Amino acid sequence: MPKILPVLIISFYSIASSAHAQAMLKGSVVDKQTFEPLECAIITDVQNNSTTLTDKEGFFALKNVQATDTISISYIGYSTKKIQADVLLHATNVRLERGDINLKDVVISSKLNSIITSRTLSSIDLNMKPARSAQDMLRLVPGLFTAQQVGGGKAEQIFLRGFDADHGTDVNISADGMPVNLVSQAHGQGWADLHFVIPETIGSYDFGKGPYYASKGDFTTAGYVSYNTLNVLDKNMIKIEAGQFKTARAVAMINLLNDKAKEKGQSAYVAGEALYSDGPFDYGQHFKRFNLMAKYNTPIGKNNKLSAVLSYFNSSWRASGEIPNRAVAEGYIPDRFGVIDSAQGGYTYRTNANIKLTSYLANNITLENQVYYSNYYFDLTTNFTFYLVDPVHGDEFNQHESRDLFGYNSKITRQANVGNSILTTTAGISARYDATHPSWLAHTLNHQILNYLQLGNVKEYNLNGYADETLETGKWLLNIGIRADYLHFYYLNNAPAADSAAKIYIGANAGRGKAVVSPKLNVQYTLNNHMQFYLKTGKGFHSNDARVVIGNAGYGVLPAAYGVDLGVNWKPLPKLYINAALWYIYLQQEFTYGSDYGDESVTPGGRTVRDGIDLSARYQITKWLYGDVNVNLARPRALDEPKGQDYLATAPTFTSTAGLYVKFANGFNGGISYRYLHDRPANSNYSLTAKGYFLTDLTANYTQKKYELGIAIENLFNVTWFESQVAYQSRLRYETMPIDEVSYTAGVPFFAKLRFSVFF
């Protein structure tokens, strides 16, 4: 650990609470129906315009309050309350009632740091366009695009800030504090399959772009996304959906405890999801997914709260795979929804146990301890190049793994008043251990193994600690953080000596370790109630695959990322909120796609640089009409290549989303939105192009207290588009020479789904 870490932890315990100036108003804010604490509710003294936020348990403390002052309490999606301070002193808590979104409630204050900025956007978006799928959950992040490559069961391909992050190499994703990304995964480093989360159970999420957050480690280069499931259901629900392509889905969410238990802080519910779809493909996907989840919360004594989550997920599917356009143009298959190798598809499951204990200690200290466990299975068969490597049997290959994942997180936080300033100290430690037994890449024919390209056991652990200090003084907010990670990689090769991969590991040391220190510095200045500027800087990293680390004798184990953001939060009008940023990021080593065959798959990429502009706006046009727009520009380049040969394949350069949404008092609600992804290079010299698209989606619902009817339409205007696109050198059965061409997964055509929900 760096020397600064114990110094910061010691200083954390030595900070003394200052004497209260005038009266200190304390209280808590909860949901009126569920009694769930509301984190980040805004508490404002109307007379002196001082502001504070509620913590995770809904508690707040506001200084310099007179008994006659009016206190305003607001939260996105809830009706604002105004209470006189002396009345509030005698209330056990403030209960806010759900209501319409009012962007007047969004305030710009020196108390509101960048994390709250993301939560402001996420609260608005989640209220206006609830997530219906894993793709929807990810696409809630402004500027984040996804693509499904080979069947609905794979983890989504992720694009953010000029990164083609594959399945998660540069985006850290978590759910209830448990990592979603899997290290040294059989298909891709950082594999983030979010399908084990039922979308309707998501209660909140926050995100951050860039490597600026001390609490976020591996894969946090382009940014992070953190999802939190509901602790309490406000009502029971049963939902049925049906649509084109033999699509059917059912969801149920049922409370297990009554309202009296909720008043005591206890809650328990179960949720389940079942899905089937053939998709638009000529060769039906037979895509099946099943999810089951249970969550329990209870206080333990006066100062402790326990939360436990159990979940199980499995999925199976067939896939048409990615196809080259010439296969359609030359009649090899009838259309873009055809199939070349019908053996493609997969099966996966994940079982999770996640327990968290939060303790509220003396002197404004909060201690969190979390343990989690996942058992994960994955089996995928694909064929990208067809008959390029093996003209006789074809290039079909299978990726397989069985994994146990153990983890522990601990965090201690203290907030102290130092004169007229507030100092918040956070320190944390984490440990994670992944054991994969076995992991393989095999050349197959109709699922039968012909030979192994890789076969072995992976063991990888990560120990880390961080310290984070935030000083709020006047119009300034200063955040300094430092993080230290130690990762150890172990790969035992079990491939037969005759197989192609065995030679890479002959004489190699099976174990390698590496440490990295990541400093962070963030500064924020609030000019007034309408404008706030911020500067974020920091170092992050993404770890390499254990097989690559051992095969390359420890080279490029933890390549670093350095970034800087210069941004503004602005409210030019009472109901218009704008966030904009100029940004830059440098990577010591890019993770680029390579062939899944032979030595090419363990060749690391070179140095890269990206810069760009992000713009997000949210506008409440009328009481019932809302609009949003996101525009994201990026210029990704390789530094070690000559000009004209320095493009980064499939990295996004220009993306945009926007929509108009309505919520009427009579229950009608919905919206129309677009997604735009610009053309981008498919290879390093831009001789091949990954085609962009402009898609329009429509939702319409009629919502009443006891039921909801709705329709959702994807690709309203039936645009022909390509979802996943990668440049491959491939050879079809009749071809004598390989051809370089972009292969694609066809995007869904016009797709309508009806849904009916019952609430009770």
Amino acid at 354: N
Stretch 586-605: mean pLDDT: 61
Q: Which of 159-168, 328-337, 415-424 has the lowest mean pLDDT?
A: 415-424
Evaluate if residue 687 carries a pLDDT over 50: yes
Q: What CATH code would you report for 116-759?
A: 2.40.170.20
pLDDT by residue (tens digit) across 502-543? 678 887 899 999 999 999 999 999 998 899 999 999 999 999
Give the residue with greater pLDDT, 430 vs 420: 430
Most distant CA pair in the chain: distance in Å?
87
Phi, psi angle pair for 126, to nearest 5°: -70, -30
Specify the pLDDT at position 501: 66
Share of the chain above pLDDT 90, in %: 71
Question: What confidence score (pLDDT) does residue 365 get?
Answer: 93
The arithmetic mean of pLDDT across residues 676-684, rounded, is 97
The Cα–Cα gap between 32 and 605 comes to 53
Listed as own residue / partner, the contacts of 43-50 with beta carbons closer than 8 Å and 24 or more positions apart are 43/71, 43/72, 43/73, 44/71, 44/72, 44/73, 44/74, 44/107, 45/69, 45/70, 45/71, 45/85, 46/70, 46/71, 46/72, 46/82, 49/529
pLDDT of res. 45? 87
The secondary element (H helix, E strand) that includes residue 134 is helix 134-139
Q: In whole numbers, what is the pLDDT of the chain averaged over residues?
A: 90
593 has a pLDDT exceeding 70: no
* In 536-651, alpha helices (H): 546-551
Residue 376 CA to its chain's centroid (Å): 19
Give pLDDT tens digits for 288-308: 999 999 999 999 998 999 999
Query: Judging by DSSP bridges, how do beta strands 94-96 and 23-31 pair with one another?
Result: parallel
Class of domain 4-99: mainly beta
Range in 109-118, 171-180, 359-368, 582-591 the model is least confident about? 109-118
pLDDT of residue 680 exceeding 90: yes
- pLDDT tens, 471-500? 999 899 999 999 999 999 999 999 887 776
For 30-64, write each residue's pLDDT tens digit. Answer: 888 888 888 888 888 888 878 888 887 788 888 88
Residue 5, pLDDT above cutoff 50: no
Q: If you average pLDDT over residues 257-262, what whole number do you get? A: 89
Q: What's the pLDDT score for residue 744?
A: 95
Between strands 171-175 and 223-229, the pairing is: parallel
Q: What integer pLDDT is reported at residue 113 of this predicted model?
A: 52
What is the pLDDT confidence band of residue 112, given thresholds at 50, 70 and 90?
Answer: low
Is residue 433 pLDDT above 60, yes or no? yes
pLDDT given for residue 420 in this prediction: 83
Encoded tokens for 84: 């006189």
Q: Choose from 131-140, 166-175, 600-609 the range with maximum mean pLDDT.
A: 166-175
| Residue 663 structure tokens | 């919520």
pLDDT(715) > 50: yes
384-408 pLDDT, tens digit per residue, is: 999 999 999 999 999 999 999 999 9
| DSSP H or E stretch at residue 4 | helix 4-14
3-class SS string, 244-257: CCCEEEEEEEEECC
Q: How far apart are CA 377 and CA 436, in angstroms?
A: 10
Model confidence band, residue 603 (pLDDT cutoffs 50, 70, 90): very low
Is 33 exposed, middle or buried (CB count within 10 Å of its CB: 0-12, 13-18, 19+)? middle
DSSP letter assigned to residue 492: E
pLDDT one-digit tens code per residue, 83-95: 888 887 777 688 9
Q: Is 551 helix (H, G, I), strand (E, B) or coil?
A: helix
Type of residue numbered 188: G
Both structure tokens of 420: 């007229």
pLDDT tens-place string over residues 114-157: 455 676 778 788 877 777 787 888 999 999 999 988 777 899 99
**pTM score of the predicted model:** 0.92
Amino acid residing at 277 = S
Cα–Cα distance for residue pair 475/574, rounded to 1 Å: 21
Q: Where are the beta strands (DSSP E) in 35-108?
A: 42-45, 50-53, 59-65, 70-74, 81-84, 94-96
Is the model's pLDDT at 15 over the cut of 70? no
pLDDT at 344 over 60: yes
Q: How far apart are CA 80 and CA 73, in angstroms?
A: 6
Domain limits, the chain: 4-99, 116-759
Position 27 confidence tier, pLDDT thresholds 50, 70, 90: confident
Cα 755 from chain centre: 26
CB contact at 8 A, 310 and 117:
no
Residue 554: what pLDDT?
Answer: 75
What is the distance between the alpha carbons of residues 40 and 29, in angstroms, rounded to a whole number? 10
Lowest mean per-residue pLDDT among 492-496, 689-693, 743-747: 492-496
292: its two tokens: 């089951």
DSSP reduced 3-state for 528: strand
* Whether residue 174 has pLDDT greater than 90: yes
Determine which of 60-69, 99-108, 407-416 has the lowest per-residue pLDDT on average: 99-108
What pLDDT is recorded for position 714? Answer: 96
Mean pLDDT, residues 6-33: 57
pLDDT score for 551:
85
